[in-house]
Chains A and B, each alone.
Chain A
Amino acid sequence: MGKMNHPGYDIPRPTKRQYYEVCDKLVSRLMESGEMGLSLMGHGSFFRDGDCNFGVSDQDFF
């Protein structure tokens, strides 16, 4: 089997901490951009407390 870069196969699955880092960085950078009127919402399991399977779940933005 060759290298695939697939989490859980030949690279580690993302951690809970990494999920929060991605979200925090995304939000802070978008806020810093100062783009008036741009809207970002989060929904799905990551934004429902206790419902996210870290390492498997997607992060949903709308």
Chain B
Amino acid sequence: MIFPECFVTDKKLFRQISVVFADALGDKKIKLQVCPLDLGVAKDGRFNSLTEDFRNHLSSDAKILVGPDYRDRINYFRFKDSTEGVLSHNLRKARLSILLSEHNRRNDYGEFLNKFDTLLSAVSGVPKQIMYLIDRNLRASRFSSLEILSSTFPNLDIEPLERIKWLYNNHIEYDGVYHNPEELVDFSMDALGFFENVIKSYVGKFPLGKNRK
């Protein structure tokens, strides 16, 4: 599934599609493997979770079911920096958890909560991972890069990450979010938006080199 926006997806649309997936799946126990991408990430390629191996597979095997065929606009790499790989994987995981959130909320509330925890963990690791790509300094704590992230990308809104940090230190409120699915989904959307904005800022400041293969 490729969203037409560049880097930062439309969260209203995301929520609508989450309902579409939930309605289509119902209570059927079919495992869906979905790779949600956006055109910005697809074209840049560094944070595309699909590697070069998929190019031929998708060219020959994939069937266009809805909308445009974007396959010739996707950039794949055979080799990626391991941190790019982690960010690519986590971006896919974060988006997928929201795409299937309505289905999980209706059918398996435990899984709904598990995916929320996974999303927060993935998003809170983004600052130190993106800073590692920039300066190659390994930081132990997930929240230790907030200040340097802000100074590197002054226009980036880090409020969603500060809320995650606050939640991690306030378990009564964290547990309260578990019991409020609407708030949980809103929180997830903001967290994903932060992740996408970090990627957008990084790609804007550090464009893909022409010699990158």
Contact = CB atoms under 8 A, between A and B. Distances in A.
Interface string B7-51: 000000100110011011110111111110100000000000010
Interface residues of B, number: 37
B30 A41 contact: no
Nearest to A61: B34
A18 to B, nearest CB: 5
B67 A43 contact: no
B4 interface: yes
Contact of A43 (B2, B37, B62): B62
Interface residues of A, number: 34
Interface in B30-81: 30-35, 37, 50, 57-58, 61-71
B200 to A, nearest CB: 18
Contact of A37 (B50, B64, B68): B68
A11 interface: yes
B202 interface: no
Given A37-B67, A43-B58, A59 B1 contact: no
A7 B107 CA distance: 14
Given A22-B25, A40-B66, A41-B63, A61 B35 contact: yes
A41 B20 contact: no
A13 to B, nearest CB: 7
B24 A43 contact: no
Nearest to A45: B61
A31 B24 CA distance: 13
B20 A26 contact: yes
A43 B61 contact: yes
A7 B29 contact: yes
B30 A33 contact: no
Nearest to B19: A29
Contacts of A44: 33, 61
Nearest to A25: B24
Most central of A5, A7, A38 by chain B CB within 10 Å: A38
A50 B155 CA distance: 52
Contacts of B187: none
A3 to B, nearest CB: 12
A30 B17 contact: yes
Nearest to B16: A33
A26 B64 contact: no
Interface of B: 1-4, 13, 16-17, 20-21, 23-26, 28-35, 37, 50, 57-58, 61-71, 108
Listed from nearest, the 5 A-B pairs whose CB atoms lie closest are: A37-B4, A39-B67, A40-B66, A25-B24, A26-B24
